[in-house]
Structure 1
């Protein structure tokens, strides 16, 4: 089977042209996710805007004004002071971020499925446009979410596609508004999901929620493990050769998402010892970082082309085990239970995914790192619980889009998105 690369092109189906502007900031337009038998990462031209219309589908529809109000009331930042022993003392108010832009994203019918909300100074939230769906679909206090489809890693593209399909499926089935969802949309529940690490009153040392009497809220999780925000250009690829494009132009080869994902995991473990890890800062590239990325490219037999660089997951596993001395590394189909287990053991997980192309080929591939997990159970005044689970993704785009995402993995209406979604786990140094 030949290696598959995604050709240059544009995507136009994801965002409505009726993008709302706040503070007169100009925005662009969006797009989305996942793998080839070879996981190849490419860069596309910016798309044309397409007006897909707007339909207020039900009484559960969330308007743009309502979404803006919700986003503006979430408080980020310190919520309490702690003693040296980690015990809470006095509480202080969090900070409300000013909303910079709200961009509606339509489902296949043209009705808004959710909103991408960016904050001034950094941070974003993806908020559902239907009250029968968890309100906070993705959130970051510091990362940005550029409204430009051409910038999106394929894994993020597919996550968005799945999220849109899930919202649309709820609407097609005319699902009822449950008491659980009513509880989820209460301001206190939204606050705890959007910024749970700031609400220390929901942390329980025995990892068991007290469901009697006061119906105590519950939080368990592993905050993001990686501190790096590496990417494929900006000198991360400084030691790679030049590639020639069909039009005769040349540029330095992209590092490849496979190499960036592997490199960030190895930097976290600081292994093997043959590299100077102290000379690899979190946010800028050095020659030592470029050397690591070049060496990974060689080890995984990276294929460098004009529109992207790709490698097979089998070669990534072999490189982890045989070249870089992580002897237990193994590949398998994505399994959320295993991901939870690995992250609880404080081991980042390599993920990859893609879409099914003609003749069963794997196309539109991307590799990235899952480096955080959390589950939050909140109760309303009537002791009605709501459960929210999130995974923290590092997409390998120099910090852009890194955030907590609800793990959508459904296939509504017979559609298939997470084609050949796989992982490498037990990445443990020897």
Structure 2
């Protein structure tokens, strides 16, 4: 036994990596430790197919028991997201989740390009708040069952309607009659007829629906979705349905609080923003959340894990619902660029059934002004200046405050003025104040900031006033006997571009990324970037960055390659009109994307090809166990060398009625290859946690060049079904292979440290009902003979 233990230990040591990055093994340990702390029901983890390069790892728990996203760089927070149920599916992710994960990838890659030290963990705001929503609704059947038709196709419900309906179902509100709602015609000419008065049937609805469901529960939720869409005049189509604002409709049609309000991310620091969202959850109010990069999306933030991550309900039937960082690196760390959905982020707060109480936000915002920009003195005495401030409130009621002016330098208050006390701000009105200040005798020459602070009572702490549209800071410069005032919007060169790096294949139509390292010399919390190709009359890429004044970080602008080969000059601007140019590239040479043609052959271990009983004349591959180990041979049958990515993907058959909630799977394995004409290469991919009786489609795809675009085309595909229940002798962990990991698992079992997925029957190779060293000897023989 000692010899065997030493052998296993040596094998483990040979796998240890001393690189600075987090290895897959280390990430798995972090995920397991995290799951133990969170008391996940299912603790056996398998890595999902690759996404995000090597920026992070996604581990799925068996039996759809959740997932954990672990950073591959130890300078970030270790856990980027998780859920305690379901699995994350990689291939064809919903656009919102894809954008969020792309944001993680971008920011972690930025760390690797920098020399930044390890950052502290994400600041926890408060204790954990379990997800408020139990429903997991979507836009397709049965939810769109009463939406209008677009030709012969039923329109999707729309993300705004899905968000509204889920929040209304959470509150079971309204309880009284709604309607009638007037008819209208969409932008595409679809007539949406009038809806009669109705009372929503909350008792008939349920938390989880399946695609093929029918009956009164489906009718009830479809009716709710239709009324939500009609209320906001949803612009219905068969493939995407959009709407703008919904707050007034929630108030006036559905009876929600009159003090609900929309707030925008650009008015707040990251710390303030997250505290506002957290406080909404603490008051048991799910938060409608929005953002866009190219396309927009409405989803719901409904929980908090107590460690800096917020729970997101994406509105896709539970797909990828889980805990995510609203920003990987907050303003106290190294903010390196925008996440997905980074432009125009906003939230609706105070959204709850109207009970007559005020749910307004007890915060004050302000705007500053001055009449004279220059003041003089004869010596070193004080300057006597006059400044103005207009105060407003998010409180949705009259409030009384104290306010004062302060002078700051490099983030530190260097002078405080006496407060003005018991000042009342009327609801929906501005309070205008003008103050005479004496300053300067105790200050050195230099640049300062003149700001306002407020408190709600004498016992309350002082807080800086929030921005309203523009920064409320007056810039103050003392130079001997002269004092000068300036508005922040008068600053020029607020974008300090330190470096721009272009990444990606320089080929026509192929996606690329511009990595911009920049310093915010201005005071806006949100700054926009637009990337232009010289031959286009509009920006081809856009994003936003959130950095504090004088912060430096990276922002990523994704954009498609040009339509024509040759030299292209790129530029980055701060405005959509393209007039304020921040950077211009040297001419960049782009090659033409050449036509490609790959063929493929798929083989699956431990499988048998049979006639498909459901589809006569078609073949079906039956796989033993619940794991598919695929081997794919790609061959270049085209006329050009193939230097690109190939993809091996597995997905459930959407038409299979046996597929239940949480059992759908879409995973991909991607790898970049180089194949000369006529050459071949072989790749392998493993897909675990499959469900007995469910049909899967296994595809091997390559990048194909269409006219004016590129896309995926299948080189080979196969219909599969796993038998489940059966096992391979020696395969104690159920991965359809017999190798050293099975030996390790068996040793642990003998030493009374079994894993949850250990299969004792598969380990008992001599059939004596025991698992001991004689079985390990047989297992070694299987491996030496070539295993499976």
> Does 2:224 align with 1:283?
no
In the alignment, structure 1 residue 124 sits paired with structure 2 residue 124: no
Shift of 1:74: 4.7
Change (3 A) 1:302 1:64: same
Q: TM-score, normalised by structure 1?
A: 0.63
2:261 to 330, 333, 339: 330
Q: Which residue of 2 aligns with 1:229?
A: 136
Q: Note if contact 1:159-1:408 (Cα within 8 Å) is conserved in structure 2.
A: no
d(CA) in 1 for partners of 2:339 and 2:247? Answer: 30
* 1:169 Cα deviation from its structure 2 partner: 2.3
Alignment of 1:408-419 (within 5 A): 408=327, 412=336, 418-419=342-343
Contact 1:260 1:396 in 2 (8 A): yes
Q: State the Cα distance separating 1:73 from its structure 2 match.
A: 5.1
Distance 1:59 1:281 in 2: 50
Quote the residue 1:397 is aligned against.
Answer: 316
**Distance of 1:95 and 1:370 partners within structure 2:** 23
- How far apart are 1:330 and its partner, in Å? 1.6
Structure 1 residue 328: deviation in Å? 2.3
Aligned to 2:288: 350
Contact 2:131 2:302 in 1 (8 A): yes
Which residue of structure 2 lines up, in the alignment, with residue 310 of structure 1?
242
Query: How many angstroms apart in 2 are the aligned matches of 1:427 and 1:221?
Result: 21
Partner of residue 301 from structure 1, selected from 219, 233, 241: 233
1:78/1:307 Cα in 2 relative to 1: closer, same or farther (>3 Å)? closer
Specify which structure has the bigger relative contact order, considering alpha-carbon pairs within 8 angstroms and separated by 6 or more residues: 1
CA 1:276/1:139 → structure 2, altered by over 3 Å: closer, same or farther?
same
Matched residue of 1:281: which SS?
coil
Change (3 A) 1:243 1:77: farther
Number of residue-to-residue matches in the alignment: 294
CA RMSD, aligned part only?
2.8
Contact 1:104 1:114 in 2 (8 A): no
Which runs of 5 or more structure 2 residues have no equivalent in the other structure?
Answer: 1-16, 176-198, 210-216, 266-272, 330-334, 355-788
Equivalent position to 1:339, from 245, 264, 277: 277
Question: Is residue 265 of structure 1 aligned with residue 167 of structure 2?
Answer: yes
Larger radius of gyration: 2
User: Which whole-Å CA distance do the structure 2 matches of 1:353 and 1:74 have between them?
Assistant: 29
- Say whether the 8 Å CA contact 1:256–1:308 is kept in structure 2: yes
Matched, 1:152 2:94: yes
Query: 3-state DSSP class of the match of 1:320?
Result: helix
Shift of 1:68: 3.1
Residue 64 of structure 1 corresponds to which residue in structure 2? 24
**TM-aligned CA deviation for residue 72 of structure 1:** 4.3
Partner SS state of residue 28, structure 2: helix
TM-fit CA distance, 1:251 = 2.2
1:151–1:171 CA distance, 2 compared to 1 (3 A): closer
More strand by percentage: 2
Structure having the higher helix fraction is: 1
**Would the aligned equivalents of 1:158 and 1:418 in 2 still touch at CA under 8 Å?**
no
Shift of the 174–399 alpha-carbon distance from structure 1 to 2, 3 Å rule, reads: same
Separation in 1, partners of 2:340, 2:204: 43
Structure 1 residue 427: Cα displacement: 0.6
Inter-partner Cα distance in structure 1 for 2:72 and 2:44: 20
Gapped regions of structure 1 (runs ≥ 5): 1-56, 80-93, 185-192, 194-216, 245-249, 356-362, 376-387
Write the deviation string for residues 78-126 of structure 1: whole angstroms up to 9, x where unpaired: 96xxxxxxxxxxxxxx7552223333333xxxx5110122121111111
Structure 1 residue 352, shift from structure 2 partner: 1.1
Distance 1:413 1:220 in 2: 28
1:99 matched to 2:45? The reply is yes
CA distance in 2, matches of 1:97, 1:222: 22
Q: Distance in 2 between matches of 1:220 and 1:77?
A: 15
User: In structure 2, what is the equivalent of residue 251 of structure 1?
Assistant: 153
Q: Deviations along 1:336-375, whole A, 9 cap, x unmatched? A: 22211111111000011101xxxxxxx3111111111243
**Residue 49 of structure 2 aligns to a residue in which SS?**
strand
* Residue aligning to 2:102: 161
Q: 1:331 to 1:415 in 2, by over 3 A?
A: closer
Q: CA deviation at 1:276?
A: 2.0
Q: 1 CA distance for matches of 2:318 and 2:158?
A: 16
After TM superposition, the structure 1 stretch with the greater mean CA deviation from structure 2, 271-280 or 223-232, is 271-280
1:105 partner SS: coil
Which whole-Å CA distance do the structure 2 matches of 1:422 and 1:113 have between them? 27
Asked whether the equivalents of residues 114 and 128 of structure 1 are also in contact (C-alpha less than 8 Å), the reply is yes
Look up the match of 1:321: 251
Residue 239 (structure 1) aligned with residue 146 (structure 2): yes
Deviations 1:31-55 (A, max 9, x none): xxxxxxxxxxxxxxxxxxxxxxxxx
Q: What is the distance in 2 between the residues matched to 1:225 and 1:258?
A: 18
- Structure 2 vs 1, CA of residues 222 and 423 (structure 1 numbering), >3 Å: closer, same or farther? same
* Residues 338 and 95 (structure 1), Cα distance of their counterparts in 2 relative to 1, 3 Å cut: closer
